[in-house]
Amino acid sequence: MAWKSIESPSYKRRVMVVAEATAESVAALQYVLSHAMQDKDDLILINVAPQPRPSKRAPFIKSFFRRHSDPGLAGISNFDPVSIDAERGGGGGGNGGGKDFLQVMKRACKGTFPNSRIWVEKVEQGSLDNKGALILSRCKELLVDLLVVGQRRHFVSVLLGPRRSFSTGSTQLRGAVSKTVDTVEYLIENSPCTCVAVQKKGQSSGYILNSKTHKNFWLLV
């Protein structure tokens, strides 16, 4: 189940990926480039700012797009994200020498689909703004056909399942609150176009896909 276009080869779609400096976002982009996009489709990398600041105690995730300069899918097959601070040059240097992870993602996409139009959309998020609603608003404005977002699997949600709030449309985990899960569930349930949440299962075990009509679909690769 790759959600590729079933239209004629000349039909050009617009695909949007929620782009963040996280392992989940990288997995979503890997899925799109290897299974969902076709040549000449448009690809939009949407980033909602401000980004959450990583915990100083959390270990850094290494080698974000380590081989992003390599053309083609081989250049993105083994990448992982690094922390936002490291990617932006935090912790030393001071000359702004850190790489912009959005531009790194864009270059990797262009190397795989050189004939596609690829661009970055940055959206400012106010303190009272709903992140999911901001993303869906841009989806409507840009006439997006497919929205893809990375999804983190939480142990407690696997055991007990999500608890929905029908008044707000959000989803909360029993015993915990997760903004990531809330946003993903909100996008799936309210997207005007097909929305697919992607979770990667190891380096060679494929993907777990969730949409409004398919739950926990295991795509082997």
Helices (H) and strands (E) in the chain, counts: 6, 9
Which alpha helices (H) appear in 117-220, and where do they start and end?
131-141, 155-160, 179-190
Residue 168: pLDDT band with limits 50, 70, 90:
very low
The CA distances from residue 161 to 39, 147, 172, 176, in Å, are 38, 23, 9, 12
For residue 37, pLDDT beyond 70: yes
Binning the chain into helix, strand and coil, the percentages to the nearest 5 are 30, 20, 50
Inside any domain, residue 6: no
In this predicted structure, which of 31-35, 170-174, 214-218 has the lowest mean pLDDT?
A: 170-174
Better-scored residue on pLDDT, 175 or 136: 136
pLDDT digits (tens, 9 = 90+) for 69-78: 444 444 454 4
For residue 96, pLDDT beyond 50: no
Nearest to 19 by CA among 30, 5, 3, 8: 30
Which alpha helices (H) appear in 97-169, and where do they start and end?
101-112, 131-141, 155-160
Better-scored residue on pLDDT, 162 or 129: 129
Inside any domain, residue 1: no
The residue range of the domain holding 66 is 14-52+59-219
Q: Please give the distance of CA 35 from its chain centroid, rounded to a whole number.
A: 14
Q: End-to-end distance of the chain based on CA atoms, in angstroms?
A: 11
Task: Give, as one character, the DSSP assignment of residue 176.
Answer: B
Contact 68, 79 (CB under 8 A): yes
pLDDT for the residue numbered 13: 95
For residue 142, pLDDT beyond 90: yes
Percent of the chain with pLDDT strictly greater than 70: 59
For residue 210, pLDDT beyond 90: yes
Total number of domains in the chain: 1
The CA distances from residue 122 to 19, 44, 50, 73, 138, in Å, are 10, 10, 10, 25, 10
Nearest to 21 by CA among 113, 89, 70, 69: 89
Residue 31: pLDDT band with limits 50, 70, 90:
very high
pLDDT for the residue numbered 5: 53
pTM over 0.85: no
pLDDT for the residue numbered 211: 95
Inside any domain, residue 7: no
In this predicted structure, which of 13-17, 170-174, 190-194, 198-202 has the lowest mean pLDDT?
A: 170-174
The CATH number of the domain holding residue 164 is 3.40.50.620
Inside any domain, residue 146: yes
Percent of the chain with pLDDT strictly greater than 90: 48
Inside any domain, residue 9: no
Inside any domain, residue 178: yes
pLDDT digits (tens, 9 = 90+) for 173-193: 444 445 544 899 999 999 999
pLDDT for the residue numbered 7: 53
How many alpha carbons lie under 13 Å from residue 18 in its C-beta half-sphere? 28
